[in-house]
Every structure is written in structure tokens, then in C-alpha cells.
């Protein structure tokens, strides 16, 4: 089953390790040499003016991509540099 980038960006990301809703996919990282997906990025926490750093989630941490949700397993979330 396939999924377009626009479809991925419309799905909410949930961390199964703590049940936290991380938000919607903001960006996708692609390895252009190997033609494979490396990671997704979700916006950091906070309000409009005090938003934290974005969170980069390695593709290997994605457990399931459903119709509306992306389930990830990340015990230690690290903001994107």
C-alpha cells in the first residue's frame, strides 16, 4: 500500500511509549542517494510565540501508518538541531 507525502502530512503522530500526541507531520527527510525515507519531523511544543524545537523521528521508529495516525515508538524524544 502506498501513501503520498501530502497524505503523510495530514496524519497525526502519536508516541506509543507514553501516549503523547506529537502533532502532525511538518517535514520529511529523504536520502536522495538511496531513494529512501530517513525521518519525519513534527513541530515542537509550545504556543505560537514560544514554540520549541522541531522533533525529528527516525523512520525506523515508525511502527504503523494508519488511515489517520502514525504510531511511533520513541522513549527519548530529541528536538531537531
Residue range 3-23, pLDDT digits in tens:
898 999 999 999 999 999 999
DSSP tag of 53:
-
Q: What pTM was computed for the model?
A: 0.81
Give Cα 45 distance to the centre of its chain.
Answer: 13
Q: What are the beta bridge partners of residue 67?
A: none
Question: Confidence band (pLDDT; 50, 70, 90) for 47?
Answer: low
Q: pLDDT over 90 for what percent of the chain?
A: 69
Q: Class of the 5-72 domain?
A: mainly beta
Q: Where are the domains of the chain?
A: 5-72
Amino acid at each position: 500500500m502506498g501513501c503520498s507525502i501530502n497524505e503523510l502530512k495530514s496524519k497525526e503522530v502519536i508516541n506509543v511509549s507514553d501516549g503523547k500526541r506529537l502533532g502532525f507531520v511538518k517535514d520529511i527527510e529523504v536520502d536522495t542517494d538511496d531513494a529512501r525515507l530517513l525521518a519525519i519531523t513534527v513541530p515542537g511544543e509550545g504556543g505560537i510565540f514560544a514554540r520549541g524545537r522541531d522533533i525529528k523521528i527516525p523512520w525506523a521508529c515508525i511502527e504503523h501508518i494508519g488511515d489517520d495516525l502514525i504510531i511511533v515508538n520513541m522513549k527519548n524524544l530529541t528536538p531537531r538541531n
